Structure 1
């Protein structure tokens, strides 16, 4: 019996270590400022293996970060007062062996990138680390956040399959190897009366 226990104890950590870590949202911080409400967070995620393989073959991956601000109401369903969306495009250039991350407030179009923030990275882990950090993202203007009301912020981050090339959209439908979605909700308390 003791040998059986030792065998299980030796096997169990390796079985747990071999399983992929479930993606999650780290601490979600909401900061009120004079000009609005800001969101900061760190995502704990690993790209699905199929998505990572496609990236190394030069196919860009698209991500969407969404934040929704709801004002709590006791007499009816909560009212949406603000919504913010951020689009991210991660691509790998096999010839230069460099990674490029583009961030935009609007979806990427085939006609060009439009107004975006672009960053280059030498290493995949650096590019993924930049995706995982969201710092001081303005999600609402100050005029829609009532100081004496309680608000709820719903945050979602996902892999956007709709912007992949058409053959990939058809081939990945319903395949679990492409799933990446993390979400979290947090309440924003009313400000104390002054």
Structure 2
């Protein structure tokens, strides 16, 4: 009897969250499904002196559900991640470097401006690196900055192991884990919120002669 009672207590909060989620979806005009596509264009990894730099252009259309949420004051968080690995035929690839960049996009109704905060950690965490803040007059301009990765330092060559070639994996995604709880539940299985893409390449980081 005690075991059954505990199970019931665990079920009701989930049902309540789902009901609340449906209310939020109606309030913010979230449609059931939408076709979205995210691509990574102009992907390039290069060595400049002793730094490994990554550049890319991400292409995607902001779904109406996400734009509606932004206009209602809900910030969106995008994450770019790059990892440098040494391929090993006898074992799993050895991970040599992993870096992240978290981009917070928010609308400021009073100023009618869009603000982007870029940090090396989630949210407003600046402990992993300096934060960059930039304001934009339009959503299009702000999104252009979100979609552009320009000469991002992802590793220092002296910190690598001297292999002739490395594999570099790059990913870009909308981080649903930082949304309010009702949105997290409502976004599950919804293509409106599926903004994600990956790219990978094998590169030589030998210095130019």
TM range (shorter): 0.7 to 0.9
Distance 1:149 1:123, change over 3 A: same
Deviations 1:2-39 (A, max 9, x none): xxxxxxxxxxxxxxxxx956210001111112332110
Regions of 4+ moved over 6 Å:
none
**Distance in 1 between residues matched to 2:164 and 2:87, nearest whole Å:** 7
Q: What is the aligned counterpart of 1:121 among 102, 117, 136?
A: 136
1:94 is displaced (CA, Å) by 1.6
User: What's the counterpart of residue 76 of structure 1?
Assistant: 91
1:72 is displaced (CA, Å) by 1.6
**Distance in 2 between residues matched to 1:193 and 1:72, nearest whole Å:** 22
Mapped pair 1:50 → 2:65: yes
Q: Any idea what SS the aligned residue of 2:92 has? A: coil
Alignment of 1:58-69 (within 5 A): 58-69=73-84
- Normalised by the size of structure 2, how large is the TM-score? 0.76
**Distance in 2 between residues matched to 1:164 and 1:72, nearest whole Å:** 36
- Normalised by the size of structure 1, how large is the TM-score? 0.81
1:136 is displaced (CA, Å) by 1.2
Root mean square deviation of aligned Cα: 2.2
Q: Unaligned 5+ residue runs, structure 1?
A: 1-18
Count, aligned residues: 174
User: What's the counterpart of residue 148 of structure 2?
Assistant: 133
1:192 is displaced (CA, Å) by 7.7
1:191 is displaced (CA, Å) by 2.7
Q: What is the aligned counterpart of 2:159 among 144, 163, 168?
A: 144
